[in-house]
Chains A and B, each alone.
Chain A
Amino acid sequence: MEKGIKIFLCIVFFFCFVAAGAAFAEDEEAEYPTEPIIFTKPVKAVIFDHKLHVEDSGLDCDSCHDDIFEMEAGTAEQNKDFTMKALYEGKYCGQCHDGDTAFASNTRCTLCHIGVKGYNRMTGVKPKGHGGHE
Protein backbone atom coordinates (compact mmCIF):
# COMPACT_ATOMS: atom_id res chain seq x y z
CA MET A 1 0.00 0.00 0.00
CA GLU A 2 2.77 2.40 1.00
CA LYS A 3 4.45 1.79 -2.29
CA GLY A 4 1.21 2.60 -4.09
CA ILE A 5 0.95 5.95 -2.31
CA LYS A 6 4.54 6.78 -3.21
CA ILE A 7 3.88 6.08 -6.87
CA PHE A 8 0.70 8.15 -6.66
CA LEU A 9 2.59 11.07 -5.14
CA CYS A 10 5.25 10.78 -7.80
CA ILE A 11 2.59 10.99 -10.47
CA VAL A 12 1.03 14.01 -8.75
CA PHE A 13 4.39 15.77 -8.56
CA PHE A 14 5.05 14.97 -12.18
CA PHE A 15 1.81 16.56 -13.29
CA CYS A 16 2.44 19.57 -11.07
CA PHE A 17 5.73 20.14 -12.91
CA VAL A 18 4.09 19.67 -16.29
CA ALA A 19 1.37 22.15 -15.36
CA ALA A 20 3.91 24.64 -14.03
CA GLY A 21 5.98 24.20 -17.17
CA ALA A 22 2.93 24.81 -19.32
CA ALA A 23 2.05 27.93 -17.35
CA PHE A 24 5.61 29.17 -17.75
CA ALA A 25 5.45 28.51 -21.45
CA GLU A 26 2.27 30.59 -21.61
CA ASP A 27 4.08 33.48 -19.95
CA GLU A 28 6.76 33.20 -22.57
CA GLU A 29 4.17 33.39 -25.29
CA ALA A 30 2.50 36.46 -23.81
CA GLU A 31 5.66 38.48 -24.25
CA TYR A 32 5.65 41.11 -26.93
CA PRO A 33 8.02 43.66 -28.38
CA THR A 34 8.56 46.31 -25.75
CA GLU A 35 9.73 48.91 -28.24
CA PRO A 36 6.87 50.47 -30.23
CA ILE A 37 6.56 49.51 -33.87
CA ILE A 38 6.99 52.54 -36.14
CA PHE A 39 5.55 52.44 -39.64
CA THR A 40 7.06 54.84 -42.17
CA LYS A 41 5.14 53.81 -45.28
CA PRO A 42 3.12 55.16 -46.96
CA VAL A 43 3.60 58.20 -44.69
CA LYS A 44 6.05 59.02 -41.94
CA ALA A 45 5.23 57.94 -39.28
CA VAL A 46 2.68 55.82 -37.44
CA ILE A 47 3.26 54.29 -34.03
CA PHE A 48 1.92 50.99 -32.73
CA ASP A 49 2.47 50.16 -29.08
CA HIS A 50 2.16 46.46 -28.16
CA LYS A 51 2.12 47.26 -24.43
CA LEU A 52 -0.94 49.48 -24.75
CA HIS A 53 -2.84 47.00 -26.87
CA VAL A 54 -1.98 43.95 -24.76
CA GLU A 55 -2.04 45.33 -21.23
CA ASP A 56 -4.54 48.17 -21.44
CA SER A 57 -6.82 46.79 -24.13
CA GLY A 58 -6.39 43.15 -23.12
CA LEU A 59 -5.68 41.73 -26.55
CA ASP A 60 -3.91 38.41 -27.10
CA CYS A 61 -1.24 37.75 -29.69
CA ASP A 62 -3.68 35.82 -31.80
CA SER A 63 -6.14 38.73 -31.79
CA CYS A 64 -4.02 40.14 -34.59
CA HIS A 65 -1.36 37.54 -35.48
CA ASP A 66 -1.14 36.05 -38.03
CA ASP A 67 -4.50 36.87 -39.57
CA ILE A 68 -4.41 40.68 -39.65
CA PHE A 69 -0.67 41.23 -39.27
CA GLU A 70 2.30 38.94 -39.85
CA MET A 71 4.56 38.49 -36.84
CA GLU A 72 7.48 40.07 -38.61
CA ALA A 73 7.48 43.84 -38.21
CA GLY A 74 7.33 45.81 -41.43
CA THR A 75 5.52 43.17 -43.46
CA ALA A 76 2.24 45.06 -43.76
CA GLU A 77 4.09 48.19 -44.86
CA GLN A 78 5.24 46.43 -48.00
CA ASN A 79 1.63 45.95 -49.14
CA LYS A 80 0.25 48.45 -51.61
CA ASP A 81 -3.09 48.51 -49.81
CA PHE A 82 -1.65 49.48 -46.42
CA THR A 83 -3.56 52.77 -46.57
CA MET A 84 -6.21 54.67 -44.66
CA LYS A 85 -8.71 53.61 -47.32
CA ALA A 86 -8.05 49.96 -46.48
CA LEU A 87 -8.50 50.71 -42.79
CA TYR A 88 -11.89 52.26 -43.50
CA GLU A 89 -12.79 49.02 -45.31
CA GLY A 90 -11.98 47.04 -42.19
CA LYS A 91 -8.51 45.83 -43.08
CA TYR A 92 -5.41 45.99 -40.84
CA CYS A 93 -5.97 48.34 -37.85
CA GLY A 94 -9.46 49.00 -39.22
CA GLN A 95 -10.49 45.50 -38.10
CA CYS A 96 -10.91 46.93 -34.59
CA HIS A 97 -10.62 50.67 -35.20
CA ASP A 98 -14.08 50.90 -36.71
CA GLY A 99 -15.77 53.19 -34.19
CA ASP A 100 -17.33 50.17 -32.52
CA THR A 101 -14.61 48.01 -31.00
CA ALA A 102 -12.12 50.87 -30.84
CA PHE A 103 -12.11 54.50 -31.98
CA ALA A 104 -12.73 54.82 -35.70
CA SER A 105 -9.77 55.05 -38.08
CA ASN A 106 -10.93 58.40 -39.45
CA THR A 107 -10.84 60.02 -36.00
CA ARG A 108 -8.09 61.04 -33.57
CA CYS A 109 -5.49 61.00 -36.35
CA THR A 110 -2.49 62.10 -34.31
CA LEU A 111 -2.91 59.50 -31.59
CA CYS A 112 -1.19 57.10 -34.02
CA HIS A 113 0.29 59.50 -36.59
CA ILE A 114 3.27 60.91 -34.74
CA GLY A 115 4.59 62.66 -37.83
CA VAL A 116 8.13 63.36 -38.94
CA LYS A 117 8.67 65.25 -35.70
CA GLY A 118 7.58 62.30 -33.57
CA TYR A 119 9.69 59.96 -35.69
CA ASN A 120 12.77 62.13 -35.30
CA ARG A 121 12.27 62.30 -31.55
CA MET A 122 11.93 58.53 -31.25
CA THR A 123 14.88 57.73 -33.48
CA GLY A 124 17.10 60.54 -32.21
CA VAL A 125 17.37 62.25 -35.58
CA LYS A 126 18.06 65.94 -35.30
CA PRO A 127 15.78 67.99 -37.54
CA LYS A 128 17.40 70.15 -40.17
CA GLY A 129 18.17 73.62 -38.87
CA HIS A 130 16.63 76.76 -40.25
CA GLY A 131 19.64 79.01 -40.04
CA GLY A 132 17.79 81.92 -41.52
CA HIS A 133 15.51 82.01 -38.52
CA GLU A 134 17.86 81.24 -35.68
Chain B
Amino acid sequence: MKGNRSDKPNYVTDEERREFLKLGLKITGVLAGGSILSLVPLPEDEAKALVELEGYEKTSYKPHYVMVIRQNHCVDCEKCKEACVKTNHVPDYGYRTTILEKLAEDDEGKKFPIFMPVLCNHCLNPPCVRVCPTKATTKDPKTGIVVMHYHKCIGCKTCMAACPYNARYFNEEKRAIDKCNFCLDTRLSKGEKLTACAAACPAHVRVFGDFSDHESEVWKLVHQPDKAVWVLRPETGAKPCIFYMND
Protein backbone atom coordinates (compact mmCIF):
# COMPACT_ATOMS: atom_id res chain seq x y z
CA MET B 1 0.00 0.00 0.00
CA LYS B 2 2.97 2.26 0.54
CA GLY B 3 3.24 5.26 -1.73
CA ASN B 4 -0.07 4.73 -3.44
CA ARG B 5 -1.91 7.94 -3.98
CA SER B 6 -5.48 6.91 -3.48
CA ASP B 7 -4.63 5.18 -0.22
CA LYS B 8 -3.70 8.54 1.17
CA PRO B 9 -6.48 11.03 0.57
CA ASN B 10 -4.41 13.77 2.16
CA TYR B 11 -1.38 13.22 -0.01
CA VAL B 12 -0.88 15.68 -2.85
CA THR B 13 1.49 15.03 -5.75
CA ASP B 14 3.49 17.77 -7.46
CA GLU B 15 1.37 17.62 -10.59
CA GLU B 16 -1.76 17.92 -8.55
CA ARG B 17 -0.39 20.87 -6.68
CA ARG B 18 0.50 22.53 -9.95
CA GLU B 19 -2.94 21.91 -11.40
CA PHE B 20 -4.40 23.09 -8.18
CA LEU B 21 -2.60 26.40 -8.37
CA LYS B 22 -3.44 26.79 -12.03
CA LEU B 23 -7.12 26.31 -11.40
CA GLY B 24 -7.21 28.56 -8.40
CA LEU B 25 -7.45 27.52 -4.81
CA LYS B 26 -11.11 27.94 -4.28
CA ILE B 27 -12.59 25.93 -7.10
CA THR B 28 -10.27 22.97 -6.81
CA GLY B 29 -10.68 22.83 -3.09
CA VAL B 30 -14.39 22.40 -3.46
CA LEU B 31 -14.30 20.01 -6.37
CA ALA B 32 -12.03 17.82 -4.32
CA GLY B 33 -14.76 17.63 -1.75
CA GLY B 34 -12.86 19.68 0.76
CA SER B 35 -10.96 16.56 1.68
CA ILE B 36 -8.04 16.36 -0.69
CA LEU B 37 -6.89 19.81 -1.56
CA SER B 38 -8.96 22.04 0.61
CA LEU B 39 -6.91 25.02 1.71
CA VAL B 40 -9.75 27.51 1.53
CA PRO B 41 -12.94 26.10 2.93
CA LEU B 42 -15.96 27.58 1.25
CA PRO B 43 -19.30 28.40 2.83
CA GLU B 44 -21.95 25.79 2.09
CA ASP B 45 -23.90 27.83 -0.46
CA GLU B 46 -20.80 28.54 -2.54
CA ALA B 47 -19.77 24.91 -2.42
CA LYS B 48 -22.96 23.74 -4.09
CA ALA B 49 -23.23 22.91 -7.74
CA LEU B 50 -19.53 23.29 -8.41
CA VAL B 51 -19.16 19.88 -10.00
CA GLU B 52 -19.10 20.60 -13.71
CA LEU B 53 -21.87 18.32 -14.92
CA GLU B 54 -22.02 19.53 -18.48
CA GLY B 55 -19.78 16.85 -19.99
CA TYR B 56 -21.72 14.16 -18.19
CA GLU B 57 -25.02 15.23 -19.71
CA LYS B 58 -23.75 15.13 -23.28
CA THR B 59 -22.59 11.53 -23.58
CA SER B 60 -24.16 9.15 -26.08
CA TYR B 61 -24.10 6.20 -23.67
CA LYS B 62 -27.46 4.59 -23.09
CA PRO B 63 -27.71 3.41 -20.43
CA HIS B 64 -24.88 5.50 -19.02
CA TYR B 65 -23.93 3.61 -15.88
CA VAL B 66 -22.62 5.64 -12.96
CA MET B 67 -22.51 5.24 -9.19
CA VAL B 68 -23.37 7.74 -6.50
CA ILE B 69 -21.73 7.09 -3.14
CA ARG B 70 -23.56 8.39 -0.09
CA GLN B 71 -20.31 8.49 1.80
CA ASN B 72 -21.46 9.36 5.31
CA HIS B 73 -23.64 6.24 5.37
CA CYS B 74 -20.71 3.89 4.85
CA VAL B 75 -19.79 1.93 7.99
CA ASP B 76 -17.07 -0.24 6.45
CA CYS B 77 -18.99 -3.49 6.92
CA GLU B 78 -17.30 -4.53 3.67
CA LYS B 79 -20.23 -6.63 2.48
CA CYS B 80 -19.63 -4.91 -0.87
CA LYS B 81 -16.08 -6.21 -0.99
CA GLU B 82 -17.20 -9.72 -0.08
CA ALA B 83 -19.88 -9.67 -2.77
CA CYS B 84 -17.44 -8.36 -5.37
CA VAL B 85 -14.82 -10.98 -4.57
CA LYS B 86 -17.39 -13.75 -4.76
CA THR B 87 -19.07 -12.53 -7.95
CA ASN B 88 -15.95 -11.61 -9.89
CA HIS B 89 -13.48 -14.14 -8.43
CA VAL B 90 -11.10 -11.46 -7.18
CA PRO B 91 -7.94 -12.93 -5.62
CA ASP B 92 -6.88 -11.76 -2.16
CA TYR B 93 -3.81 -9.95 -3.47
CA GLY B 94 -5.94 -7.50 -5.47
CA TYR B 95 -9.22 -5.70 -5.37
CA ARG B 96 -11.80 -4.27 -7.72
CA THR B 97 -13.28 -2.15 -4.97
CA THR B 98 -12.18 -1.35 -1.47
CA ILE B 99 -12.89 1.02 1.42
CA LEU B 100 -10.45 3.72 2.47
CA GLU B 101 -10.46 5.23 5.93
CA LYS B 102 -9.39 8.50 7.42
CA LEU B 103 -9.87 9.97 10.86
CA ALA B 104 -11.86 13.12 11.40
CA GLU B 105 -12.87 15.09 14.48
CA ASP B 106 -16.34 16.23 15.45
CA ASP B 107 -17.19 19.56 17.09
CA GLU B 108 -16.41 18.17 20.54
CA GLY B 109 -13.00 16.98 19.42
CA LYS B 110 -14.06 13.35 19.39
CA LYS B 111 -12.33 11.32 16.71
CA PHE B 112 -14.37 9.24 14.28
CA PRO B 113 -13.53 7.49 11.01
CA ILE B 114 -14.76 8.51 7.58
CA PHE B 115 -15.06 5.52 5.27
CA MET B 116 -14.67 6.09 1.55
CA PRO B 117 -15.61 3.33 -0.89
CA VAL B 118 -13.45 3.43 -4.02
CA LEU B 119 -13.60 1.58 -7.32
CA CYS B 120 -12.97 2.22 -11.01
CA ASN B 121 -14.42 5.64 -11.84
CA HIS B 122 -15.37 4.65 -15.41
CA CYS B 123 -14.10 8.05 -16.51
CA LEU B 124 -15.41 9.86 -19.56
CA ASN B 125 -11.77 10.57 -20.51
CA PRO B 126 -10.07 7.50 -19.02
CA PRO B 127 -6.26 7.90 -18.82
CA CYS B 128 -5.90 4.09 -18.75
CA VAL B 129 -7.60 3.74 -22.14
CA ARG B 130 -5.46 6.47 -23.61
CA VAL B 131 -2.18 4.85 -22.59
CA CYS B 132 -2.92 1.19 -23.36
CA PRO B 133 -0.62 0.16 -26.24
CA THR B 134 -2.75 -2.80 -27.35
CA LYS B 135 -6.28 -1.41 -26.90
CA ALA B 136 -6.87 -4.04 -24.25
CA THR B 137 -8.94 -1.62 -22.21
CA THR B 138 -11.69 0.45 -23.82
CA LYS B 139 -14.87 2.34 -23.14
CA ASP B 140 -17.86 0.12 -23.85
CA PRO B 141 -19.60 2.14 -26.61
CA LYS B 142 -23.05 1.31 -25.26
CA THR B 143 -22.73 1.79 -21.51
CA GLY B 144 -19.56 3.81 -20.98
CA ILE B 145 -18.14 1.07 -18.76
CA VAL B 146 -14.33 0.84 -18.93
CA VAL B 147 -13.85 -2.80 -19.89
CA MET B 148 -10.88 -5.14 -20.19
CA HIS B 149 -10.15 -7.41 -23.14
CA TYR B 150 -7.96 -9.87 -21.29
CA HIS B 151 -6.68 -11.65 -24.41
CA LYS B 152 -5.23 -8.40 -25.72
CA CYS B 153 -3.55 -7.40 -22.46
CA ILE B 154 0.23 -7.83 -22.46
CA GLY B 155 0.54 -7.02 -18.75
CA CYS B 156 2.69 -3.92 -19.21
CA LYS B 157 0.88 -2.21 -16.34
CA THR B 158 0.98 1.20 -18.02
CA CYS B 159 -2.74 1.55 -17.30
CA MET B 160 -2.09 0.86 -13.63
CA ALA B 161 0.35 3.75 -13.54
CA ALA B 162 -1.97 6.01 -15.49
CA CYS B 163 -5.06 5.39 -13.36
CA PRO B 164 -5.54 8.27 -10.90
CA TYR B 165 -7.64 6.01 -8.69
CA ASN B 166 -5.44 2.95 -8.14
CA ALA B 167 -8.35 0.90 -9.45
CA ARG B 168 -6.36 -1.74 -11.36
CA TYR B 169 -4.34 -4.78 -10.33
CA PHE B 170 -2.45 -7.49 -12.17
CA ASN B 171 -4.32 -10.77 -12.00
CA GLU B 172 -1.81 -13.61 -11.91
CA GLU B 173 -4.30 -16.25 -13.01
CA LYS B 174 -5.56 -14.24 -15.96
CA ARG B 175 -2.03 -12.99 -16.75
CA ALA B 176 -3.74 -9.67 -17.39
CA ILE B 177 -4.86 -6.53 -15.65
CA ASP B 178 -8.22 -6.86 -13.94
CA LYS B 179 -10.55 -4.15 -12.71
CA CYS B 180 -14.13 -3.27 -11.85
CA ASN B 181 -16.46 -3.45 -14.84
CA PHE B 182 -19.68 -2.72 -12.93
CA CYS B 183 -20.31 -6.50 -13.07
CA LEU B 184 -21.09 -6.17 -16.80
CA ASP B 185 -20.26 -9.79 -17.58
CA THR B 186 -21.25 -11.33 -14.27
CA ARG B 187 -24.56 -9.56 -13.58
CA LEU B 188 -25.72 -6.77 -15.91
CA SER B 189 -25.53 -8.96 -19.02
CA LYS B 190 -27.61 -11.53 -17.19
CA GLY B 191 -30.46 -9.13 -16.55
CA GLU B 192 -29.48 -7.95 -13.08
CA LYS B 193 -30.05 -4.25 -12.50
CA LEU B 194 -27.37 -3.68 -9.88
CA THR B 195 -23.70 -4.41 -9.41
CA ALA B 196 -22.86 -7.01 -6.76
CA CYS B 197 -21.52 -4.33 -4.40
CA ALA B 198 -24.58 -2.10 -4.73
CA ALA B 199 -26.90 -5.06 -4.19
CA ALA B 200 -24.98 -6.15 -1.09
CA CYS B 201 -24.80 -2.76 0.62
CA PRO B 202 -27.12 -2.72 3.66
CA ALA B 203 -27.02 1.09 4.01
CA HIS B 204 -27.77 2.07 0.42
CA VAL B 205 -24.38 3.76 0.16
CA ARG B 206 -23.69 2.59 -3.38
CA VAL B 207 -26.48 3.84 -5.62
CA PHE B 208 -26.06 2.44 -9.12
CA GLY B 209 -27.99 3.46 -12.19
CA ASP B 210 -28.40 5.11 -15.55
CA PHE B 211 -27.32 8.74 -15.71
CA SER B 212 -28.99 9.22 -19.10
CA ASP B 213 -32.34 8.60 -17.47
CA HIS B 214 -33.46 11.75 -15.66
CA GLU B 215 -35.94 9.73 -13.64
CA SER B 216 -33.19 7.52 -12.19
CA GLU B 217 -32.16 7.76 -8.57
CA VAL B 218 -28.54 8.51 -9.50
CA TRP B 219 -29.55 11.46 -11.67
CA LYS B 220 -31.87 12.83 -9.02
CA LEU B 221 -29.30 12.45 -6.23
CA VAL B 222 -26.69 14.42 -8.17
CA HIS B 223 -29.15 17.13 -9.17
CA GLN B 224 -30.21 18.33 -5.75
CA PRO B 225 -29.56 22.06 -5.57
CA ASP B 226 -29.00 22.01 -1.83
CA LYS B 227 -26.47 19.16 -1.76
CA ALA B 228 -22.74 19.29 -2.39
CA VAL B 229 -21.60 16.60 -4.82
CA TRP B 230 -17.95 15.89 -5.56
CA VAL B 231 -15.71 13.57 -7.52
CA LEU B 232 -12.21 12.38 -6.69
CA ARG B 233 -9.19 14.04 -8.28
CA PRO B 234 -11.15 16.22 -10.69
CA GLU B 235 -7.97 18.06 -11.65
CA THR B 236 -6.81 15.15 -13.82
CA GLY B 237 -9.55 15.99 -16.32
CA ALA B 238 -10.54 12.34 -16.49
CA LYS B 239 -14.19 13.16 -15.75
CA PRO B 240 -14.82 10.34 -13.29
CA CYS B 241 -18.32 8.86 -13.10
CA ILE B 242 -18.36 7.95 -9.42
CA PHE B 243 -20.05 10.79 -7.58
CA TYR B 244 -19.72 11.34 -3.85
CA MET B 245 -22.05 13.11 -1.48
CA ASN B 246 -23.17 13.23 2.13
CA ASP B 247 -26.87 13.12 2.80
**A residues neighboring B (CB under 8 Å):** 42-44, 108-111, 113-118, 128-134
Contact = CB atoms under 8 A, between A and B. Distances in A.
B1 A117 contact: no
Contacts, number: 70
Contact of A133 (B78, B110, B166): B166
Contacts of B1: 130, 133-134
Contact of A128 (B77, B92, B113, B171): B92
A111 B114 contact: no
26 contacts: A43-B75, A43-B202, A44-B77, A108-B106, A109-B73, A110-B76, A110-B114, A111-B110, A114-B76, A115-B76, A115-B78, A115-B113, A115-B115, A116-B77, A116-B99, A117-B99, A117-B113, A128-B92, A130-B93, A130-B94, A130-B95, A130-B169, A132-B93, A132-B94, A132-B171, A133-B1
Interface centre among B72, B76, B171 (most CB of A within 10 A): B76
A115 B74 CA distance: 9
Given A130-B95, A132-B93, A113 B170 contact: no
B120 to A, nearest CB: 14
Contacts of A110: 75-76, 112-115
Interface in B205-230: none
Given A43-B77, A115-B77, A129-B93, 7 more contacts: A110-B75, A110-B113, A111-B106, A113-B75, A117-B76, A131-B94, A134-B1
A107 B114 CA distance: 13
B75 A115 contact: yes
B79 interface: yes
B153 to A, nearest CB: 14
B93 A108 contact: no
Contact of A134 (B2, B72, B79, B110): B2
Contact of B72 (A43, A109, A116, A133): A109
